[in-house]
């Protein structure tokens, strides 16, 4: 996923699946506030439940579309 693709979800409630720092799969849903770039760390997704590195994201979907399916 690229930064421009992730920015399409800013302001929406989304479902995200990612790999944490220990290599374990995690998932969560929450509001995506921003996509930011931090030098030496790379791009991060800023959620209401915390930050997730963009390079660790496996799946990012709109929560409304996910519940409708």
Domains and CATH numbers, the chain: 3-68 (2.30.30.100)
Instruction: Assess contact for 16 and 6: CB atoms under 8 A.
Output: no
pLDDT, tens only, 13-56? 999 999 998 999 999 999 999 999 989 889 999 999 999 999 99
Nearest 5 degrees, angle CA 47-CA 66-CA 50? 10
pLDDT on residue 1: 83
Total-model pTM: 0.85
């Amino acid at each position: 996923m690229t930064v421009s693709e992730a920015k399409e979800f800013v302001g929406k409630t989304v479902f995200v699946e990612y790999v944490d720092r220990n290599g374990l799969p995690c998932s969560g849903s929450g509001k995506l506030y921003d996509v930011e770039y931090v030098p030496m760390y790379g791009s991060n997704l800023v959620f209401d439940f915390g930050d997730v590195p963009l390079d660790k994201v496996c799946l990012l979907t709109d929560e409304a579309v996910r519940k409708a399916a």
